[in-house]
Structure 1
Amino acid sequence: MSFTKIIVRYGETDAMGVVHHANYYLYFEVAREDLIKELGISYKELEESGVMLPLVETQCKYIEAAKYDDNLVVEATISQLTPVKVKVAYVIRREEDNKILAK
């Protein structure tokens, strides 16, 4: 399990200061990379050794909007690991109140 801190940047939001839905997937990707680093290897090293991690399925449940300048914590957990499949689960919380915003 890893915890990645992200501060919502202005360019990730719309005119109302709400994070565009596609940016949640960028946050997931940053957290996935941090999770792999915490396991002692980088994406680059995995790929150089012939291990590829293509994304074949994704979904996100949006619970409450993240907004400009929010401090977020993205929790990434390996929920399934087989010789041919790695499944990672994510939870995005607002740091201030620990409210779950997406998963």
Structure 2
Amino acid sequence: MISTMTTFTLRKPITREEARAIFLSTAPKYQAVPGLIRKTYILSEDGTVAGGLYLWNSRAEAEALYTPEWRAFVTEKYGTEPVVAYFESPVVVDNLTQQILSDA
């Protein structure tokens, strides 16, 4: 499995409530994305950085999302270019489902 973290620095800070409304407006876009297991939206405590934590089946499936069109969508929505970082995720503890997931 692969995790990605996307971040973007906002031009002006937003509140948790503003972020929640924005995130809910884009959340349906990520339903049924091939290979995407989970997405968590994130906002810094001071409201100046937003982004997402993603858990993927594979890097190829992750890379398939982060297209120039996706980058343009994020840039238009938030007014700033996103940064994407990739991480290996060989084991995931999921307390909601009470499972330990492994990519082995």
Same fold (TM over 0.5): no
TM-score with structure 1 setting the length = 0.26
Q: Which gives a bigger RCO, structure 1 or 2 (Cα 8 Å, sep 6+)?
A: 2
Bigger share in strand: 2
Bigger share in helix: 2
